[in-house]
Structure 1
Amino acid sequence: MTSILGIHVSASNYGSVVAKSLEWARSYDSRVLVFANVHVLMEAVDSPAYRDCLSQADIVSPDGVPLVWALRLLGKTEASRVYGPDCTIAMLKSAEERGVPVGFYGGSPEVLEALLGVVRRDYPLLQIPFAMSPPFRPLTPDEDDEAVEQIARSGARILFVGLGCPKQERWMIEHREKIPVVMFGVGAAFDFIAGIKPQAPRWMMNYGLEWIFRFATEPRRLARRYLKNNPRFVLLFIWQLLTGRTTVRREPGGEITNRLNLDTPHGGASD
């Protein structure tokens, strides 16, 4: 594992993530996989609770090209992007081939219906015993218990969670001991695979310019995320490279101190 701004990110690849996930699924393990980009890391910088949440994930893969560049600058020259939507597709294909049941949790009813249509068309032999679009509000304890029971009873071994960052990561960690499934926090993958939202051209993705495409298509929703987080990430990562420290924090008394987070324990698979 390599620390980027105090978050341990694995220099994984599609093959290793799929293989490890299938191994866990066959063993009825409860595991959490996170696909991290700049937005995810900056949420963790701003929220100690969310940082702790990510530290409990089994694999944190570099979903964004800037994180791949960061890993390489930190010595992980073999690092490559593990893009959530592409990894979801690779996982669906492997699950179909190996008879591993999968489920989906998240998205609006319209998005989930469109997603299931595409998945059933492209992977006709895939077992999908569970799919749920939860309401866009906090669930009551009874509703949450019912959802957990349905997932556990369904027999799904892999669960794709599309609640968005940071909600999906918090949900997965909160429920990992209750559901014997391998959980993938895949964010907007539901919308992309269903064809609801357009994806950036591959050449833009390859050059780390996907954020420009997404900003152009959803400026109001994404303005704060990109215009605030991207420059902060660059500055904080340069600070890490120059000092070996992950960030600078202002203490309650006004004193600015450097917090070393490079050796923070992280539960998860090795690179």
Structure 2
Amino acid sequence: MISNRILGMRVDPVTLEETINHILAWAVERQGRMVCAADVHLVMRHRDEADFRETMTQADLVTPDGMPLVWLLRRQGFPGQERVCGPDLTLELCGVAAEKEIPVGFYGGRPEVLQALVSNLRSQFPSLMVAYSYSPPFRPLTAAEDEAETIAINEAGVRLLFVGLGCPKQERWMAAHKGQISTVMLGVGAAFDFHAGSIRRAPSWVQRIGLEWLFRVGADPKRLAKRAFQYYPRFIWHVMTEGLKRTGNR
């Protein structure tokens, strides 16, 4: 698999179709894998935090979720690069899983969000086999609780486990459980809220011009504004600085 680097972090230049094919092959073989959908926030966490860089070394596939990453990959030699984001990946995989009778599971979200998510997906895909769902408490699980859920996931026969804990919690959870859970784990973040209907997703034209993050900040400024303005300006600065360095070294 071809991989690339954005500000030092691996991002794989894959299409949505290629991503689904990789994931399905792993799922059929019951392989424990870790899939991440990367945006600006994740890239900057990787740049800033040594322990998170170590976490991301466990990832088997890192897709470009945010449009800024898509644009950078296009400029770096992948002109056909498209966005492969968590919400789209969740729907596509659930559709294929329903068709191929692949058991899926969901880990994360508030109880009411998780219930609505599963209900909506079952309505959209009547044949979808939801073998497991769990809304963990906001506190860290005890060792006994964590072991019980790990056993439950494995015994349920889950082949695709969608993890909606938000960045960086979901990436750390997946890395910690890789090798313990025989399933493909996918960090899909806000996909739980979007498909549960608890948060409105940005219109498609807003997504295409790379401003979905700003739409989300406007919808939930108390929670997201500080994070957005902590990471986005610095991301732009570092991208421009590295670009100038490469130009100067030619």
TM-score after normalising by structure 2? 0.96
- 1:133 aligns to 2:135 (yes or no): yes
Percent sequence identity over matched residues?
45
Once the two structures are superposed, residues 225-267 of structure 1 have per-residue CA deviations (whole angstroms, 9 ceiling, x without a partner) of: 111211100111112222249xxxxxxxxxxxxxxxxxxxxxx
> Is 1:7–1:55's contact at 8 Å kept on the other side of the alignment?
no
> Is 1:11–1:78's contact at 8 Å kept on the other side of the alignment?
no
> Is 1:103–1:129's contact at 8 Å kept on the other side of the alignment?
yes
Corresponding residue for residue 266 of structure 1: none
Corresponding residue for residue 253 of structure 1: none
Distance 2:173 2:21 in 1: 24
- 1:74 aligns to 2:73 (yes or no): no
| One-letter identity of the residue aligned with 2:170 | Q
> Is 1:101–1:158's contact at 8 Å kept on the other side of the alignment?
yes
Q: Which runs of 5+ in 2 are unaligned?
A: none
Aligned partner (choices 34, 53, 56) of residue 55 of structure 2: 53
Corresponding residue for residue 208 of structure 2: 206
- 1:191 aligns to 2:193 (yes or no): yes
Q: CA deviation at 1:55?
A: 2.2
Q: Which one is further off, 82-91 or 51-60? A: 51-60
Q: Which runs of 5+ in 1 are unaligned?
A: 246-271
Corresponding residue for residue 64 of structure 1: 66
Corresponding residue for residue 257 of structure 1: none
| One-letter identity of the residue aligned with 1:236 | H
After TM superposition, the structure 1 = structure 2 runs for residues 76-225 of structure 1, keeping only pairs within 5 Å, are: 76-225=78-227
Tell me: CA distance 1:244–1:57, structure 2 relative to 1, closer, same or farther (3 Å).
Answer: farther
After TM superposition, the structure 1 = structure 2 runs for residues 222-261 of structure 1, keeping only pairs within 5 Å, are: 222-244=224-246
| One-letter identity of the residue aligned with 1:4 | I
Corresponding residue for residue 18 of structure 2: 16
Q: CA deviation at 1:56?
A: 1.8
Distance 1:22 1:99 in 2: 12
Q: CA deviation at 1:176?
A: 0.9
Corresponding residue for residue 3 of structure 1: 5
Report the secondary structure of 1:129's partner residue: strand
TM-score after normalising by structure 1? 0.88
Larger fraction in helix: 2
Report the secondary structure of 1:196's partner residue: coil
